[in-house]
Amino acid sequence: MAAFVIDHKDLQGSVQLMGDLTAVLVPDLQAGLKQVLHKGARNLVFDLTSTKMLDSSGMGLLIAAANSLAAIGGKVRVTNVSPDIFRLLQSMRLTLRLNVSGREE
């Protein structure tokens, strides 16, 4: 069973992660994202509600998705991040680039 669910409707794609965004998950997720972009998605929302850890491969995937979408006038949003992940992305100055929002408590 995949550790994520990708949904697509019109120009909007969404990714619900069921765990951590690490190097183990990136290849499968990357393949799924390519399919969604090929089908016409111009915006992607990554829901990190269940994500406790984000490694450099996961960050690379988010940045690559943001770059790919920016090239075609789209954008990425990363939602429901834990305080630790928010601080990590903030320290790397990625919160604005990835449109990051924290969890609603």
Note down pLDDT in tens along the chain; length 105 residues. 569 999 999 899 999 999 999 999 999 999 999 999 999 999 999 999 999 999 999 999 999 999 999 999 999 999 999 999 999 999 999 999 999 998 765
Domain positions in the chain are 4-102
CA-wise closest residue to 30 among 59, 55, 66, 61? 61
The CATH architecture of the domain made up of 4-102 is 2-Layer Sandwich (3.30)
Cα 15 to Cα 17: distance, rounded to the nearest angstrom: 6
Cα 70 to Cα 37: distance, rounded to the nearest angstrom: 12
Q: What is the pTM of this model?
A: 0.93
